[in-house]
A and B are shown apart, each in its own frame.
Chain A
Amino acid sequence: DADVTQTPRNRITKTGKRIMLECSQTKGHDRMYWYRQDPGLGLRLIYYSFDVKDINKGEISDGYSVSRQAQAKFSLSLESAIPNQTALYFCATSANTGELFFGEGSRLTVL
């Protein structure tokens, strides 16, 4: 089983719908992250959490929210999806060196 698991792996939705992407990890790391990947832009940080009670905005948090339900679980929500949120979303975890361990990605298409 993967150390970092993302669900769903693929999702197609319509403009205005609420979407939740879920992430769970078995690595025992305190730090978890959500990134968004767009062609030619690399990975951009949406939100990050250094422990259960700590939530921080990244560089592109507008239109997104997160919930850290437990050390092992970190969910990303789009309250009202819009087409420019079509992207590949990655969850990641890390220990204190900054090295990230990634999930396999969730591909979201907003029509």
Chain B
Amino acid sequence: AQSVTQLDSQVPVFEEAPVELRCNYSSSVSVYLFWYVQYPNQGLQLLLKYLSGSTLVKGINGFEAEFNKSQTSFHLRKPSVHISDTAEYFCAVTEGSGGYNKLIFGAGTRLAVHP
């Protein structure tokens, strides 16, 4: 079965510093990959997704992620974070084929941006 590992449960960082949130998944077969963000007391919203094509994917709020098939990774990056980026971030991967797929989530990484 597919699994997702987010290597850091918490990432503290100062405002305007770069950040990388790491994500690895278990299967090397064709998958779709996603990053979701959850702001305090809110539901999850899509940050970016990789379905096919270019391995560098750009999302909302200046975030980007790179799909690395050989390393089965999909790390999320931002060159300069803001206080408003403080949130929990979830990496997710599809499991299944033929269009009947469901999403498997990592445990989440809590990003804390300090002034």
Contact = CB atoms under 8 A, between A and B. Distances in A.
Nearest to B99: A96
Query: What band does the interface of chain A fall in when counting residues whose beta carbon is under 8 Å from B?
Result: 20 to 34
B102 interface: yes
Given A90-B43, A104-B42, A41 B102 contact: no
Interface string A81-96: 0000000001000101
Contacts of B94: 98
A20 interface: no
Interface string B43-60: 111100101000000000
B90 A98 contact: no
A33 B102 CA distance: 9
Nearest to A56: B102
A43 B45 contact: no
Interface in A2-43: 33, 35, 40-43
Interface of A: 33, 35, 40-45, 48, 50, 58, 90, 94, 96-100, 102-105
Interface of B: 6, 9, 32, 34, 36, 42-46, 49, 51, 90, 92, 94, 99-108
Given A42-B6, A45-B102, A100-B103, 5 more contacts: A40-B9, A100-B44, A100-B46, A102-B43, A104-B42
